[in-house]
Amino acid sequence: MRILFWLGLLVLIILALKKKMQPPRSPVATTSRPDPQNPASAEAMVCCAHCQIYLPASEAVQRGEQVYCSKEHADLA
């Protein structure tokens, strides 16, 4: 019966180590909160309807349902 005690203790130690190894913050929590040092990393990217280039949503030009990288492309469409 003594081996069962040691096996149980070993399992408890492994579980405790696994908990310690886990990162303190989940990746979902970090992406939902904008990083003050790099605000662009958390920002949504949109695709220009004219040239298909990707750019941050804050820099995009919205024209109706479509978004464009610049006013020029919005006028061309």
Residue 35 or 75: the one with the smaller Cβ distance to Zn ion is 75
CA distance 65 to 70: 15
| Cβ nearer to Zn ion, comparing 7 with 53 | 53
Window of 11-19, 22-30, 35-43, 61-69 that interacts with Zn ion by CB under 5 A: 61-69
Closest C-alpha to 48, from 8, 76, 17: 76
Closest distance to Zn ion from the beta carbon of 42 (Å):
23
What ranges in 1-77 are assigned the alpha helix state H? Answer: 2-21, 27-32, 39-42, 71-76
Among residues 16, 51, 57, 76, the one that binds Zn ion under rule CB under 5 A = 51
